[in-house]
Amino acid sequence: MSEPSRSRVFVTRVIPALGLDRITSACDADVWRDPLPPSREVLLAKVAGCDGVLSLLSEQIDAQFMDAAGPQLKVISNFAVGFNNVDVAEATRRGIRVGNTPDVLTEATADMAFGLLLAASRRIVEGQDYIRSGRWKTWEPLGHIGVDLPGKTIGIVGMGRIGHALARRCHGGWGMRVLYHDRLRDLEAERKLSAEPVEFDDLLAQSDFISVHTDLNESTRGLFDRAAFRKMKPTAVFINTARGPIHHQLDLYHALRDSEIFAAGLDVTDPEPIASDDPLLTLPNCVIAPHVASATISSRNGMAEIAADNLLAGLNDEPLRCWVNPG
């Protein structure tokens, strides 16, 4: 008797073995093993006939992609908490389940936001560049002056899980006042951290540090433009660990160059990777990391487990563990 055929899946990059091994043992899996993503053309050819896809945020999962896969495609398991790379409305229309990987990266991402905040405020990376280029000649009473953190005001834009986790660090560890701007109230943050919901412009005007934790959508694209930076304090530090297009990158460059704000710390850029001739790279007061906020052992293992659970559940027509488009 012939064995029942196994589901065909395409996995667009090698992910931690905790998830990948379960996928390769349960499915007929084609795993893209190159560290760089497949070209669009190759991606569309690879997904043809697949029942499921495990994708990264670098893949655009749109109607063209779903057409290329074919009508048997049941599930898209995105290895990320964000899913702005997936046309969820189109997937829902076609009855395709979409999964993401929340929670397991909350603390790591909040740590990264705080790390960037500290690095940009205290000019840590600039100091390292100073040493490496042989400019450190003596201890300088007036050199390398940064901004203080204790007792300042943090403004959180997007008070979801990650924004809340950063607010906890800033309030509990550094005694900061917490302002936040969101469509929804975070009553726990208001109760436990004395967080205050405010209008966007008030947050810009009053905060010493502003950290972005909202998702990328049509109302947040370009939210931080020249006008927004001009409403911030000249001593303000801007942090973005969410999505690059939430800030207007050239406007950010001008604001930093012209000292309209003090510094910025970015884990995300627009585009990604950042162009090697992007003027931001010439500025000492901008710290940039290559989108690595979730890059810790436990976060990436947790993401791999959830992504595998989501993929296998979708192939079996079961509810996904972390389901973006249920019902």
Q: Exactly one of 9, 75, 81, 165 binds ligand GLV (CB under 6 A); which one?
A: 81
Length, in residues, of the chain: 327
CB of 233 to ligand GLV, least distance (A): 28
Buried residues in 181-216 as b, exposed as e (16+ CB within 10 A): bbeeebeebeeebebbbbeeeebbebbbbbbbbbeb
Binders of ligand GLV among residues 33 to 72 (CB under 6 A) are 57
Closer to ligand GLV by Cβ: residue 19 or 146? 19
Q: Exactly one of 29, 80, 96, 324 binds ligand GLV (CB under 6 A); which one?
A: 80
Closer to ligand GLV by Cβ: residue 142 or 297? 297
Residue 82 binding ligand GLV, by CB under 6 A: yes
Interaction mask 93-132, ligand GLV, x per CB under 6 A: ------------x---------------------------
CB of 133 to ligand GLV, least distance (A): 32
Closer to ligand GLV by Cβ: residue 47 or 306? 306
Whether 291 is catalytic: yes
- C-alpha to C-alpha distances, 186 to 18, 82, 153, 156, 195, nearest whole angstrom: 34, 20, 17, 12, 8
Question: Which residues, other chains included, contact 63 with Cβ-Cβ below 8 Å and sequence gap of 6+?
Answer: 87, 90
Residue 246 binding ligand GLV, by CB under 6 A: no
CB of 241 to ligand GLV, least distance (A): 8
Closer to ligand GLV by Cβ: residue 84 or 92? 84
Closer to ligand GLV by Cβ: residue 106 or 153? 106
CB of 1 to ligand GLV, least distance (A): 43
3-state secondary structure of 118: helix
CB 8: neighbour CB atoms within 10 A? 20
E strand or H helix that includes residue 19: helix 17-26
Whether 243 is catalytic: yes
CB of 216 to ligand GLV, least distance (A): 10
Is 9 in contact with 50 (CB distance < 8 Å)?
yes
| Relative orientation angle of helices 106-121 and 161-174, to the nearest 10 degrees | 50
Which of 13, 177, 291, 300 is catalytic? The answer is 291
Interaction mask 286-325, ligand GLV, x per CB under 6 A: --------x-------------------------------
Structure tokens at 286: 């901008």
* Closest alpha carbon to 163 in 201, 207, 125: 207
Residue the block writes with tokens 């203080």 = 148
Of 76-84, 170-178, 198-206, 307-315, the window that binds ligand GLV (rule: CB under 6 A) is 76-84
Cross-strand pairs, 155: 179, 210
Q: Tell me the longest C-alpha to C-alpha distance in the chain.
A: 82
Which of 243, 247, 248, 300 is catalytic? The answer is 243
**Active site amino acids:** 243, 272, 291
Binding residues for ligand GLV, rule: CB under 6 A, are 57, 80-82, 105, 294
